Chains A and B, each alone.
Chain A
Amino acid sequence: MKVLTDPALCVGADLAAWMARGGGEGLSRALAEPASIIPVLEAAGLRGLGGAGFPTHRKWSAVAAQPGPERWIICNGNEDEPGTFKDRFLLAETPHQVIEGALIAAVATGAAQVVLYVNPREAAGVLACHAAVAAWQAHPLAAAVSAAIGQALCLRVVESSGHYIGGEETGAVSSVMGGFPFPRLKPPFPFEQGVNDRPTLINNVETLAHVAHILRHGAAWYRALGLGDAAGTKLYSLSGDVLRPGLHELPMGTPLRELVFVHGGGMLAGKAFKAVFTGGPSNTLLTGADLDVALDFESVRARGSRLGTGAMIVVGEGTSILRKTAEYVAFFAANSCGQCPPCKIGTHQVSRILERLDTGAGRIGDLEALENLSHMLPGSGRCGLVDGAATVLASSLETFRAEYEAALPRG
């Protein structure tokens, strides 16, 4: 069942059309019973869909419990990692469900400053968001939100700098404050000290998009959408060596095999399935042995990997794991912000070694050097960028060692 990507809801910035299709109902219920918002989300089992899977209600409660009148909400739409293309769809095609979710969050947490934080390189999404936000300014529900929180709601669009690192929570905070999106060490967490050192709720676009639906249809409805213990639906960004790549909204917990072979139409050119780089792509690879895994946070974690953003980059027979890993590590190296030399230089070094292995210039000792780096780099940055790069390196090296060994000089 399609919830977020229901074609009927893809009305762009047209607020009237959104309202005509059931929009505003969730927000109205939230305004009627503000105290029930967070318990409903808890009952629904909504989790952060930007990659971390952190229970949404706990974040909201944490912000709500902070002292002081100034609070912020950042709706994180900076999406920039390879293989992930869900938020840009929501922002461009159906921005109002995202905004309505953010307004419900404002009511629940008492935050008057609501920021749609979008990636400027996704022009369609940026345009739609500006138009959608303009449309909300005069809407009675917006005024009702102001009244409920006792402050004038300030809803606006902030374009990020377009750097990948701007999607990291503390990087986003820095960016909203007008600075370069440098991540910083946590704690303090943004819920304590975010924008202007004030409590700040940061949620991914997809997470907030679910909120209006949950408030409207109830927690039980949302839970029932998922398979097994998992709740709701998930936007899977399917790409790579499949017949039908694209964005697939499926029940949370859909098995990998079903995603690839049913919704994805199977492997491209009938090649055998080899592996999947998941969400980031900064996680441990899933392999043929994992085809039965349910694609939800817990089940994937039980296989030693992470669901991440729900991006599934499928690799088939004939595609080089070494090549793909080299591409992803090169991405991380290029996008490391520079603050932490072991991250910047370490990812560059890994990237160099992978590149030379891949181009037939590998050297004796390269695999040992890569393993060494994969052990010493994790934890070596303010944010998790270097950890992700080290994870995907270590995983591909362990699982597909033969491919690496084949790239070594013989002798």
Chain B
Amino acid sequence: MTDGGMSGGIGFAAALAAWDAAAPAPARACGLKVADLLRGFHPDHRPGGMVQLVAGPNEGAPCPAQLAALLQSDSLLEDVDLAGATILDADVLVLGGGGAGCVAALAAARAGARVLMATKLRMGDGNTVMAEGGIQAAIGAEDSLQRHFEDTLRAGHFAADKALVAALVGDGPDAIRWLVREGMSFDLADERQRMGGALLRKKPGGATAARLLSYRDFTGLELMRALREAVLLQPGISVLDGHPALELLTDDRGRCGGAALQDLGQRRLVLARAGATIMATGGAGRLHLAGFPTSNHYGATADGLVLAYRAGARLREMDSFQFHPTGIAWPPHLEGTLISEAARSAGARLVNGRGERFVEELAPRDVVASAMLRELAEGRGVGRDGKLGLFLDTPSLEREQPGILAQRLQTLSHLAHRAGFDPAREPFLVRPTLHYQNGGMAIDTDGRSALPGLLAAGEVTGGLHGRNRMMGNALLELVVFGRRAGASAAADARQERPRNLGLNHLAGWRRGLLAAGLGLEAKGPLLFPPYGNVTPQDLRRHAA
């Protein structure tokens, strides 16, 4: 897997010597306008990377080729497959067991719904648990909801839905209180003042105020631990691990009424029927768009987008992905693994093979990543064992703030240990890694999609981040919209129930594919990345 157009860079030993001689690294002017930098070097803009969708609600919209192939694929199921399938009934079906799915399930159950949560892997496994940096909420005296609102819009290049962003930032402080009530801890400015003190706030890239709340550098883990227990103990939620959705169920009027799940353990189909269905399946990093490594969880294969799109839900900004600046470039066995933005927030610099700083490290992620890709493309990267990257200068950070690596950047130190070096003495070799799907299912402020009966929350949705997400808005989004979608779903489930449930949407979908000249050979969703060595067809195979 290689991304084209990169030269060999500067050898590791020479680059290390240049870094050592120049530290702390002097800055070199960028010399390019932000717009030109993004156009020239951001992977979203690489020539030939996007194709136009030719079928479905977003016909004519640009989309990465790999994702388009999945979005415009045919179902794995036929009507006859539903015969004899096990049937489960619930008020609300939640697809996905990451942060958004757990919050939505809790909200729906507490609103009185009987909830069924189906997950592909295990409840709690997802990108949420891997989130390191933190969660944004405008709680500082100098900060305001308005500033959070404008920062989010600006970072997203004003492509976001203002009403959604207002809902996101407006619910922010209450989301933090909700998390504390669920038993999640946060770092304090002074750990002795648990009551009446102040939360520790950091400034995320692209923000005008210190607004990032965190729990050490494993905020997502702390959040997910509390949510996992909450879901396990919440009466009214049943969890089905190992049950990925293969298709949404629709009724004869097009309303979504649940999903067909594949029971991976018993290799059988389960029809989960529900008054409302919440899509919380997360992102698409494991598609390795443009050949990039990814920081994402194993299950991030865009399944929810594929199912929702096929059933008639509209998507937005499907051509916009976030590349996190600091994925590990070397050693190979950790390639793509994330080094939290907390390192740069704390003051760690990015340094090229010549020992120069080349970007303001706390600029928005798309800008930093593009600047890094430019360095790599123009031969100023650092080459080591065939891997190309740039230095993240942890030794200078430790020198300037002694003890910071051990105390505040534990995950980073742990990763360095596993990579076999001391981050206080040797810089990390990093390069951008595919991190987040900026776009997704279009929703309203209640979490409803355009398809009746189908709601969504979390990374699978679009409209909140425009064309670039700010650090700390993903965790916030999953709490805010998980709660909103859960409550809406519980209310919707009390409405009229779907009738004549089945795969009613597939006939029209297939006609559309054929009309667009696409054929029905390609099947989706993917479920597992290719190196999982198993296809959905393998999983569906039964005895003759």
Chain A contacts to B: CB under 8 angstroms: 356, 360-361, 363, 409-411
| Nearest B residue to A410, CB-CB | B543
- Bound Cα distance A410, B268 (Å): 12
Taking A356-B265, A361-B265, A409-B266 as known contacts, 11 extra A-B pairs with beta carbons closer than 8 A to each other, sorted by chain A number, are A360-B266, A361-B266, A363-B265, A409-B267, A409-B543, A410-B542, A410-B543, A411-B267, A411-B541, A411-B542, A411-B543
Set of chain B residues within 8 Å of A363, measured between Cβ atoms: 265
Q: Mark B261-294, 1 if CB is under 8 A from A, else 0.
A: 0000111000000000000000000000000000
Most chain B CB inside 10 Å of its own CB: which residue of A356, A361, A363, A409? A409
Set of chain A residues within 8 Å of B266, measured between Cβ atoms: 360-361, 409
Set of chain B residues within 8 Å of A411, measured between Cβ atoms: 267, 541-543
9 A–B contacts from the bound complex (CB under 8 Å): A356-B265, A360-B266, A361-B266, A363-B265, A409-B266, A409-B543, A410-B543, A411-B542, A411-B543
Shortest distance between the CB of B435 and any CB in chain A (Å): 33
- Bound Cα distance A360, B266 (Å): 8
Q: Mark B127-141, 1 if CB is under 8 A from A, else 0.
A: 000000000000000
Q: Mark B531-544, 1 if CB is under 8 A from A, else 0.
A: 00000000001110
Set of chain A residues within 8 Å of B265, measured between Cβ atoms: 356, 361, 363
Set of chain B residues within 8 Å of A361, measured between Cβ atoms: 265-266
Most chain B CB inside 10 Å of its own CB: which residue of A356, A360, A411? A411
Set of chain B residues within 8 Å of A409, measured between Cβ atoms: 266-267, 543
Set of chain B residues within 8 Å of A356, measured between Cβ atoms: 265
Shortest distance between the CB of A13 and any CB in chain B (Å): 53
Set of chain B residues within 8 Å of A410, measured between Cβ atoms: 542-543
- Bound Cα distance A410, B542 (Å): 7
Set of chain A residues within 8 Å of B543, measured between Cβ atoms: 409-411
Q: Mark B515-544, 1 if CB is under 8 A from A, else 0.
A: 000000000000000000000000001110
Chain B contacts to A: CB under 8 angstroms: 265-267, 541-543
| Nearest A residue to B541, CB-CB | A411
Shortest distance between the CB of A360 and any CB in chain B (Å): 8
| Nearest A residue to B265, CB-CB | A361
Shortest distance between the CB of B539 and any CB in chain A (Å): 10
- Bound Cα distance A268, B270 (Å): 42
Shortest distance between the CB of A283 and any CB in chain B (Å): 32
Shortest distance between the CB of B204 and any CB in chain A (Å): 41
| Nearest B residue to A409, CB-CB | B267
| Nearest B residue to A363, CB-CB | B265
- Bound Cα distance A411, B537 (Å): 12
Set of chain B residues within 8 Å of A360, measured between Cβ atoms: 266
- Bound Cα distance A360, B263 (Å): 13
- Bound Cα distance A245, B265 (Å): 39
Shortest distance between the CB of A270 and any CB in chain B (Å): 34
3 tightest CB-CB pairs across the interface, nearest first? A410-B543, A411-B541, A411-B543
- Bound Cα distance A61, B266 (Å): 58
Shortest distance between the CB of B374 and any CB in chain A (Å): 47
- Bound Cα distance A287, B403 (Å): 67
| Nearest A residue to B266, CB-CB | A361
Shortest distance between the CB of B532 and any CB in chain A (Å): 14
- Bound Cα distance A410, B267 (Å): 10
- Bound Cα distance A409, B267 (Å): 8
- Bound Cα distance A163, B265 (Å): 35
- Bound Cα distance A206, B6 (Å): 79
- Bound Cα distance A411, B267 (Å): 10
Set of chain A residues within 8 Å of B542, measured between Cβ atoms: 410-411
- Bound Cα distance A410, B541 (Å): 9
Shortest distance between the CB of A369 and any CB in chain B (Å): 14
Set of chain A residues within 8 Å of B267, measured between Cβ atoms: 409, 411
Set of chain A residues within 8 Å of B541, measured between Cβ atoms: 411
- Bound Cα distance A360, B268 (Å): 12
Shortest distance between the CB of A229 and any CB in chain B (Å): 52
- Bound Cα distance A409, B542 (Å): 9
- Bound Cα distance A166, B266 (Å): 39
| Nearest A residue to B543, CB-CB | A410
- Bound Cα distance A410, B544 (Å): 9
Shortest distance between the CB of A363 and any CB in chain B (Å): 6
- Bound Cα distance A159, B297 (Å): 53
Shortest distance between the CB of A62 and any CB in chain B (Å): 49
| Nearest A residue to B267, CB-CB | A409
Shortest distance between the CB of A242 and any CB in chain B (Å): 36
- Bound Cα distance A128, B184 (Å): 58
Shortest distance between the CB of A408 and any CB in chain B (Å): 11
- Bound Cα distance A409, B538 (Å): 13
- Bound Cα distance A361, B541 (Å): 16
| Nearest B residue to A359, CB-CB | B266
Shortest distance between the CB of A79 and any CB in chain B (Å): 38
Shortest distance between the CB of B537 and any CB in chain A (Å): 11
Shortest distance between the CB of A388 and any CB in chain B (Å): 29
Shortest distance between the CB of A39 and any CB in chain B (Å): 63
- Bound Cα distance A411, B266 (Å): 12
Most chain A CB inside 10 Å of its own CB: which residue of B267, B542, B543? B267
Shortest distance between the CB of A406 and any CB in chain B (Å): 12
- Bound Cα distance A30, B542 (Å): 73
- Bound Cα distance A361, B543 (Å): 15
Shortest distance between the CB of B243 and any CB in chain A (Å): 13
Shortest distance between the CB of B114 and any CB in chain A (Å): 24
- Bound Cα distance A356, B265 (Å): 9
- Bound Cα distance A360, B265 (Å): 10
Shortest distance between the CB of A361 and any CB in chain B (Å): 5
- Bound Cα distance A356, B263 (Å): 14
- Bound Cα distance A360, B542 (Å): 14
- Bound Cα distance A65, B266 (Å): 61
- Bound Cα distance A363, B268 (Å): 12
Shortest distance between the CB of B261 and any CB in chain A (Å): 16
- Bound Cα distance A263, B258 (Å): 62
- Bound Cα distance A288, B384 (Å): 65
| Nearest B residue to A364, CB-CB | B267
Shortest distance between the CB of A169 and any CB in chain B (Å): 41
| Nearest A residue to B542, CB-CB | A411
- Bound Cα distance A409, B540 (Å): 12
Shortest distance between the CB of A379 and any CB in chain B (Å): 29
- Bound Cα distance A44, B267 (Å): 61
- Bound Cα distance A363, B541 (Å): 13
Shortest distance between the CB of A352 and any CB in chain B (Å): 11
Shortest distance between the CB of A127 and any CB in chain B (Å): 45
- Bound Cα distance A356, B267 (Å): 13
- Bound Cα distance A149, B266 (Å): 67
| Nearest B residue to A360, CB-CB | B266
- Bound Cα distance A167, B325 (Å): 60
Shortest distance between the CB of A266 and any CB in chain B (Å): 39
- Bound Cα distance A409, B265 (Å): 10
Shortest distance between the CB of A349 and any CB in chain B (Å): 15
Shortest distance between the CB of B297 and any CB in chain A (Å): 22
Shortest distance between the CB of B264 and any CB in chain A (Å): 8
| Nearest A residue to B540, CB-CB | A411
- Bound Cα distance A383, B542 (Å): 44
- Bound Cα distance A54, B260 (Å): 61
Shortest distance between the CB of B267 and any CB in chain A (Å): 5
Shortest distance between the CB of A161 and any CB in chain B (Å): 32
Shortest distance between the CB of B533 and any CB in chain A (Å): 12
- Bound Cα distance A103, B483 (Å): 74
Shortest distance between the CB of B543 and any CB in chain A (Å): 4
- Bound Cα distance A232, B228 (Å): 61
